[in-house]
């Protein structure tokens, strides 16, 4: 499994970005795919998760109502649409995946595969 993120960048507060995670090797099996983020000098924080068929989603309270995760299996891609961005959303965002439902999908240790990360900076 290989995960490659893109779509990060600099955006003003209140703006939007869409992160893309191109996933190879997920065509078979029941995978859970998600996003984590890491603030400078802090632990990684879970953001959102989706089942590969898109049937189940969940979000951290800090992004609920602003971010939307979705999966397009035809394109082997997972998206994270981020709206109403705030400076506190500034972080490196990582795409993650694991086969089978993790017992605690908010725990980074539950995921076997990680992308290289993409920087999101929200600043005026």
Q: Are 117 and 6 in contact (CB under 8 A)?
A: no
Question: 62 in helix, strand or coil?
Answer: coil
Mean per-residue pLDDT of the chain: 93
Q: What percent of the chain has pLDDT over 70?
A: 98
pLDDT in tens, 43-93: 899 999 999 877 899 999 999 999 999 999 889 999 999 999 999 999 999
Q: Are 114 and 105 in contact (CB under 8 A)?
A: no
Mean pLDDT of 16-37: 90
Q: What is the pLDDT of residue 77?
A: 93
Q: What percent of the chain has pLDDT over 90?
A: 77
Kindly state the tokens that stand for 67: 């971010």
Between 92 and 103, the higher pLDDT residue: 92
Q: What is the pLDDT of residue 27?
A: 66
- Nearest alpha carbon to residue 67 among 10, 118, 19: 19
**Phi, psi of 79, deg, nearest 5:** -115, 150
């Amino acid at each position: 499994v290989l995960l490659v993120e893109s779509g990060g960048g600099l955006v003003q507060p209140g703006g939007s970005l869409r992160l893309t995670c191109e996933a190879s090797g997920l065509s078979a099996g029941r995978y859970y795919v998600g996003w984590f983020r890491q603030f400078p000098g802090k632990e990684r924080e879970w953001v959102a998760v989706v089942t590969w068929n898109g049937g189940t989603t969940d979000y951290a309270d800090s992004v609920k109502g602003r971010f939307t995760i979705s999966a397009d299996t035809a394109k082997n891609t997972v998206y994270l649409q981020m709206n109403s961005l705030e400076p506190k959303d500034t972080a490196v965002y990582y795409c993650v995946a694991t086969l089978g439902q993790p017992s605690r999908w908010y725990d980074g240790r539950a995921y076997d595969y990680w992308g290289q990360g993409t920087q999101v900076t929200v600043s005026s």
